């Protein structure tokens, strides 16, 4: 099994479009073990004058997922990293989490030749099971705003040490017969995120990519349960608008607006018609 290597990742980046310029603006940091790559990235952006930083680790001992859950990160089995960048423009770019989902999906599909789908807002699935998780947060760090994007890709899973509830809802590229070079995958994802950062700074918004998102989103048209804070809603995922908002129609016919949350699909609905 290859170890993560900052030199290899940077060498790959330099070979990519605008890669040399991208590297001049930021840094790639690799650690054997950290509490959380998000925490290290935040501290790095606070104390170093970088436009961006990518922090990778073989292991996270206190990684966090959505709604504060612990993030299972088996040493050496995945690609666990954080891409943090100084925000140019609005404090929170329009639907950044959903733009990231499309960006990462496209990069993973190119590297693995697999058809991945998006579970609103930004989980990536292969064969109906989660293969990549994304967590984003905007932070004000002294004199500048920073967007922190944590990404976990299941390259392989050690089933003996994987909790049963994770086995039932997660998969890995190796389990699906795909061999992945983690260093090359890291460089491809960092490059893709750097290009997305540039495009957003130049005016790209989610509305420009909404058709691609809808086409790849497996949540639409399904009977779902939405966990939104302390509230649980149940109904049909009916539509997604140009801001990334999800509209859910409950059994009484009421329409609910979800800006964030967690979706649990229960069953597809045949012949569902979508509206905005």
Find out whether 105 and 126 touch, Cβ atoms under 8 Å. Answer: no
Find out whether 262 and 66 touch, Cβ atoms under 8 Å. Answer: yes
Residues 206 and 232 in one domain: no
pLDDT for res 130: 93
What is the end-to-end Cα distance of the chain in Å, rounded? 48
Which of 7-21, 162-176, 200-214 shows the lowest per-residue confidence on average (mean pLDDT)?
162-176
Residues 225 and 131 in one domain: no
CA distance 220 to 237: 5
Residue 254 lies in a domain: yes
Give me the CATH number covering residue 231.
2.30.30.100
User: For residue 91, is pLDDT > 60?
Assistant: no
CA distance 131 to 154: 5
User: For residue 68, is pLDDT > 60?
Assistant: no
Residue 13 lies in a domain: yes
Give the pLDDT confidence of 99-131 residue by residue, as tens digits: 999 999 999 999 999 999 999 999 999 999 999
User: For residue 271, is pLDDT > 50?
Assistant: no
Give the pLDDT confidence of 138-163 residue by residue, as tens digits: 998 888 899 999 999 999 887 666 66
Which of 60-74, 87-101, 209-223 shows the lowest per-residue confidence on average (mean pLDDT)?
60-74
Residues 180 and 244 in one domain: no
Residues 150 and 256 in one domain: no
Rounded mean pLDDT of the chain?
Answer: 87
Find out whether 263 and 223 touch, Cβ atoms under 8 Å. Answer: no
Residue 1 lies in a domain: no
Find out whether 66 and 86 touch, Cβ atoms under 8 Å. Answer: no
Give me the CATH number covering residue 92.
3.30.930.10
Find out whether 118 and 218 touch, Cβ atoms under 8 Å. Answer: yes
Residues 164 and 107 in one domain: yes
Residues 136 and 249 in one domain: no
User: Pairing between strand 52-57 and 222-228?
Assistant: unpaired
Residue 276 lies in a domain: no
pLDDT for res 123: 94
Q: Which residues contact 21 (CB under 8 A, 6 or more apart)?
A: none
Residue 273 lies in a domain: no
Residues 158 and 237 in one domain: no
Residues 70 and 11 in one domain: yes
pLDDT for res 67: 47
Residue 172 lies in a domain: yes
Residues 141 and 29 in one domain: yes
pTM for the complete prediction? 0.89
Residue 275 lies in a domain: no
Find out whether 172 and 155 touch, Cβ atoms under 8 Å. Answer: yes
Residues 73 and 168 in one domain: yes
Find out whether 50 and 26 touch, Cβ atoms under 8 Å. Answer: yes
Residue 274 lies in a domain: no
Residues 129 and 174 in one domain: yes
Total tally of structural domains belonging to the chain: 2
CA distance 52 to 44: 9
Find out whether 121 and 136 touch, Cβ atoms under 8 Å. Answer: no
| 3-state SS assignment for residue 81 | strand
pLDDT for res 160: 60
Question: What percentage of the chain exceeds 70 in pLDDT?
Answer: 85
**Which range of residues forms the domain containing residue 192?**
6-212
Residues 225 and 173 in one domain: no
Give the pLDDT confidence of 161-194 residue by residue, as tens digits: 666 666 678 899 999 999 999 999 999 999 999 9
The residue from 174, 190, 212 where one domain ends is 212
């Amino acid at each position: 099994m290859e170890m993560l290597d900052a030199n290899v990742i940077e060498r790959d980046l330099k070979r990519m479009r605008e890669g040399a310029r991208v590297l001049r603006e930021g840094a790639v940091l690799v650690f054997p073990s950290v509490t959380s790559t998000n925490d290290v990235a935040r501290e790095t952006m606070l104390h170093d004058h970088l436009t961006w930083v990518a922090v990778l680790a073989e292991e996270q001992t206190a990684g966090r997922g959505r709604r504060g859950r612990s993030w299972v990160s088996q040493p050496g089995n995945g690609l666990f990293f954080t891409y943090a960048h100084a925000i140019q423009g609005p404090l929170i770019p329009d639907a950044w989490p959903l733009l990231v989902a499309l960006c990462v999906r496209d990069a993973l599909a190119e590297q693995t030749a697999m058809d991945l789908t998006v579970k609103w807002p930004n989980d990536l699935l292969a064969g109906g099971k989660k293969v990549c998780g994304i967590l984003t947060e905007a932070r004000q760090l002294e004199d500048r705003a920073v967007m922190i994007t944590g990404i976990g890709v299941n390259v392989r899973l050690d089933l003996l040490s994987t909790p049963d509830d994770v086995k039932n809802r997660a998969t890995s590229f190796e389990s699906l017969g795909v061999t992945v070079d983690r260093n090359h995958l890291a460089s491809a994802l960092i490059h893709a995120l750097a290009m997305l950062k540039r495009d957003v700074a130049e005016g790209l918004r989610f509305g420009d990519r909404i058709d691609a998102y809808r086409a790849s989103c497996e949540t639409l048209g399904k009977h779902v349960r939405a966990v939104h804070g302390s509230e649980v809603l149940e109904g049909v995922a009916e539509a997604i608008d140009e801001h990334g908002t999800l509209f859910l129609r409950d059994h009484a016919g009421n329409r609910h607006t979800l800006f964030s949350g967690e979706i649990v699909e229960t069953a597809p609905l045949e012949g569902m018609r979508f509206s905005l």
